[in-house]
């Protein structure tokens, strides 16, 4: 029995999204002697029972030679035979076996491995430094309680032996960064940290060797412990923002079924497909590169290009883009671009360029470090020289210099930003908004214009019947009965919105790819779909109509027409009222038809609405706004919005967004209401205010404490206590954000250059 289970529907859903045999083979690497190894992520494993279940399921496959599950990394490594009895094996069965055992499994990338490795290093460093600090402090209590000389020396030596490996292991992250900065002729926050830790340990060791009464091993290790906490919080929130490109890479098919000159088919890597090659694409597969359909009919989800959720009918002669999903029929595609020039590769390139630009955003802590670090070094050096030259006691001069370094160590500054961001993220999460990148709160606080996508963002992406032109109610009932046989969004909207439920039975109902539904009752046949399919009158362009049309016909004669519009997201009107009251400008940037976009803009009172935009054009529009001095918040949901989400100063997406859209966004809101946007802005501005207050508190603490240290009135131990106190003050001030969140009326901080407020109910 497994300790985890999944129902049959979940298993089928997961099986449908599993990688193909060719993709698994391309992701594996050869071991020689006809063996290959593939590494898979299995995120649901959490105990020994899970390990045994998965390993047993894989060992049952005839071609699997070895399977090992790593519980810590939640990964499985599987070695399999490429051929058995001169027949190629199907490695996709490995994923299927894990899925049938009740666990999710998918291919992993090296980028994800690197991210996990750094995070694990930070967490281990926190554990080591925290354990060492606790034990050294217990020994220090014995010394402070009056241990005699021999016992005191023994405790000091034990403390030194505990501190040394802890400092080497936990402090290497700071030491390496500091050394690289010094080699490059510059300084950073890690330089004073490394100096303070190293010198305090060296002075303490000197005192231990010479039977000194006081040592400061506990101060050195505790300092690292506090700083590592802030560094880890910062790293985790930064790395979440890098998941979008990994998601797009996983979305890209690794290969395709190439049709050879003799008619045979061979699975090849997508990079091997040249312009003019023909490939076969089955229903349910994603199109690997841009091309022209040679044969076949199907409905294709083009949301990656237009953002519109309604499938589009395609046939021979239709052009399709990479990343689009083939829904209903088999297609033969002739490649018109190689993989590196296709639309999906272009979107990945746009996102990489946009994230590179976003990475150049100078965070508050980075700006403070540029001024703070040199000042600390100069103060410590001046104190050392002054005490040594004027007093003649170089040992005391070293103790004073170390105390200055410790008391001015940027622990409070290191916590000032991440602790506020974590508290703000918790407050927003309670309101149904998740923050993925800590710096997003700083960028969100500065936003002065909001660009919205339409489908799935301003609207719910769920068609709503707005008009029914039928001769009688019986025709509506027939249409509803036919629509019940389809999962097409317009069919579902028809069933949901027509309140006619008396039964109407057909002899048979067939769904025609790219057309609609065809039903037979006796000698009569009915059709429900687009006008060209239902009435055979040829394709009628949508023109300037903002609505989607569905036609019911009997024996080719038009019986009824149904017009659909999209449903506005709840709270949309209220959100725009609040943004306008705060002086924040708004616009729509959408890939949908201009007529449809204009219709939504009129409903919400938005003055500027741009439609028919490709992903690259959305990015160009945001760049134009940025060049004019605007700080843009982008709110979108689709794969086609991902480059714009990454290119904007800050971005949000609903939880219903595509995987790539969610990964590209900095914030995600889980409820359906759009007033999450002004609410997030309000919390972000309050967070920015608290960050400024924390910096003021940290600097004020230094103004008071540094003269005491320079005067020689603070030992390194007292300096460490003072440093810890400043950190506690900063954390306590950050927690005031929770009190702000409990106010009955949420109000934002004033906009730059104005005093407008955002209120939410």
Token representation of residue 169:
């292991």
Question: What's the half-sphere exposure (Cβ side, CA atoms, 13 Å) at 88?
Answer: 8
The H-assigned helical ranges of 294-342 are 303-306
CA 434 to chain centre: 10
Residue 167 CA: distances (Å) to CA of 42, 227, 457, 535: 35, 13, 50, 79
Angle at 172 between CA 170 and CA 176, to 5 degrees: 155
Alpha carbon distance 393, 409 (integer Å):
24
Alpha carbon distance 310, 334 (integer Å):
24
Q: Specify the DSSP class assigned to residue 341.
A: G
CB atoms within 10 A of CB 466: 14
Using DSSP's 3-state secondary structure scheme, residue 104 falls into coil
Residue 453 bears catalytic tag: yes
Q: What is the DSSP string of 154-210?
A: HHHHHHHHHHHHHHHHHHHHHHHHHHHHHHTT---THHHHHHHHHHHHHHHHHHHHT
Q: Which of 437, 418, 459, 362 is nearest to 645 (CA)?
A: 437
Token representation of residue 684:
């972000």
CA trace torsion 157, 161, 166, 167 (10° rounding): 60
680, 437 Cβ separation under 8 angstroms: no
Alpha carbon distance 246, 344 (integer Å):
13
Alpha carbon distance 752, 501 (integer Å):
57
Active-site entry in 437, 448, 453, 641: 453
Query: 520-544 in b/e burial notation, b at 16+ Cβ within 10 A?
Result: eeeeebbbbbbbbbbbeeeeeeeee
Alpha carbon distance 601, 606 (integer Å):
5
Alpha carbon distance 635, 476 (integer Å):
37
Token representation of residue 334:
């002739």
The H-assigned helical ranges of 270-359 are 303-306, 343-359
Q: Which residues contact 113 (CB under 8 A, 6 or more apart)?
A: none
CA trace torsion 181, 693, 122, 192 (10° rounding): 30
Token representation of residue 138:
């217990």
Length of the chain: 761
Q: Which residues contact 423 (CB under 8 A, 6 or more apart)?
A: 687, 734, 735, 737, 738
Q: Longest C-alpha distance within the chain, in Å?
A: 114
Active site members? 453
């Amino acid at each position: 029995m497994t300790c985890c289970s999944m129902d049959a529907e979940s298993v089928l859903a997961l099986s449908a999204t599993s990688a193909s045999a060719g993709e698994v083979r391309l992701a594996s690497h050869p071991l020689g002697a006809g063996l290959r190894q593939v590494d898979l992520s299995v995120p649901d494993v959490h105990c020994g029972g899970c390990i045994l279940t998965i390993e047993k399921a894989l060992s049952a496959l005839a071609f699997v030679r070895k399977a090992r599950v790593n519980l810590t990394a939640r990964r499985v490594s599987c070695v399999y035979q490429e051929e058995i009895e001169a027949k190629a094996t199907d490695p996709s069965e490995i994923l299927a076996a894990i899925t049938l055992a009740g666990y999710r499994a998918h291919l992993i990338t090296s980028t994800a491995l690197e991210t996990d490795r750094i995070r694990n290093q930070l967490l281990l460093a926190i554990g080591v430094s925290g354990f060492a600090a606790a034990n050294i402090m217990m020994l220090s209590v014995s010394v402070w309680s009056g241990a005699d000389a021999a016992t005191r020396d023994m405790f000091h030596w034990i403390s030194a032996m505990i501190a040394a490996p802890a400092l080497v292991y936990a402090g290497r992250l700071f030491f390496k960064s500091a050394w690289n900065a010094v080699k490059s002729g510059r300084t950073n926050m890690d330089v004073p940290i490394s100096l303070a830790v190293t010198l305090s340990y060296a002075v303490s060791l000197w005192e231990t060797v010479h039977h000194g009464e006081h040592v400061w091993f506990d101060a050195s290790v505790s300092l690292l412990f506090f700083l590592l906490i802030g560094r880890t919080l910062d790293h985790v929130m930064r790395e979440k923002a890098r998941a979008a490109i990994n998601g797009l890479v996983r979305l890209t098919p690794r290969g395709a079924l190439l049709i050879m000159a003799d008619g045979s088919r061979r699975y090849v890597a997508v990079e091997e497909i040249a312009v003019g090659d023909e490939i076969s694409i089955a229903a349910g597969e994603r199109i690997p590169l841009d091309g022209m359909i040679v044969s076949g009919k199907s409905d294709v989800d083009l949301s990656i290009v237009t953002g519109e959720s309604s499938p589009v009918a395609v046939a021979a002669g239709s052009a399709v883009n990479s990343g689009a999903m083939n829904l209903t029929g088999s297609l033969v595609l002739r490649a018109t671009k190689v993989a590196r020039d296709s639309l999906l590769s272009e979107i990945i390139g746009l996102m990489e360029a946009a994230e590179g630009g976003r990475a150049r955003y100078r965070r508050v802590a980075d700006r403070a470090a540029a001024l703070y670090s040199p000042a600390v070094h100069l103060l410590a050096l001046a104190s050392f020289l002054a005490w040594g030259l004027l007093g003649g006691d170089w040992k005391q001069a070293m103790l004073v210099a170390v105390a200055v370094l410790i008391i001015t160590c940027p622990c409070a500054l290191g916590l000032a930003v991440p602790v506020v961001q974590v508290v703000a993220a918790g407050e927003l999460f309670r309101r149904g908004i998740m923050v993925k990148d800590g710096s997003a709160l700083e960028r969100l606080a500065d936003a002065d214009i909001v660009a919205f996508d339409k489908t799935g963002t301003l609207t719910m992406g769920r068609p709503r019947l707005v008009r029914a032109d039928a001769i009688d109610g019986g025709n509506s009932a027939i249409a509803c009965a036919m629509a019940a046989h389809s999962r097409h969004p317009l069919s579902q909207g028809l069933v949901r919105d027509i309140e006619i439920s008396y039964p109407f039975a057909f002899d048979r109902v067939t769904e025609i790819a790219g057309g609609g539904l065809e039903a037979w009752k006796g000698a009569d046949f009915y059709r429900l779909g687009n006008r060209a399919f239902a009435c055979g009158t040829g394709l009628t362009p949508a023109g300037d109509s903002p609505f989607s049309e569905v036609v019911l016909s009997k024996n080719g004669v038009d019986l009824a027409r149904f017009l659909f519009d999209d449903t506005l997201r709840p709270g949309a009107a209220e959100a725009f009222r609040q943004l306008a009251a705060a002086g924040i400008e708004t616009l729509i940037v959408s890939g949908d038809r201009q007529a449809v976009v204009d219709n939504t803009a009129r409903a919400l009172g938005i003055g500027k609405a741009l439609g028919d935009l490709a992903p690259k054009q959305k990015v160009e529009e945001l760049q134009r706004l940025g060049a004019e001095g605007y700080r843009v918040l982008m709110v979108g949901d689709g794969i086609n919005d991902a480059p714009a989400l990454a290119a904007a100063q800050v971005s949000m997406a609903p939880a219903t967004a595509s995987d790539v859209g969610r990964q590209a966004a900095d914030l995600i809101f889980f409820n359906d209401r759009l007033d999450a946007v002004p609410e997030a802005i309000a919390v972000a501005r309050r967070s920015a205010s608290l960050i400024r207050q924390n910096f003021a508190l940290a600097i004020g603490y230094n103004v008071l404490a540094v003269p005491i240290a320079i005067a020689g009135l603070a030992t390194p131990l007292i300096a460490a206590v003072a440093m810890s106190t400043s950190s506690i003050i900063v954390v306590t001030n950050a927690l005031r954000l929770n009190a702000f969140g409990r106010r009955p009326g949420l109000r934002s901080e004033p906009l730059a250059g104005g005093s407008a407020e955002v209120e939410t109910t």
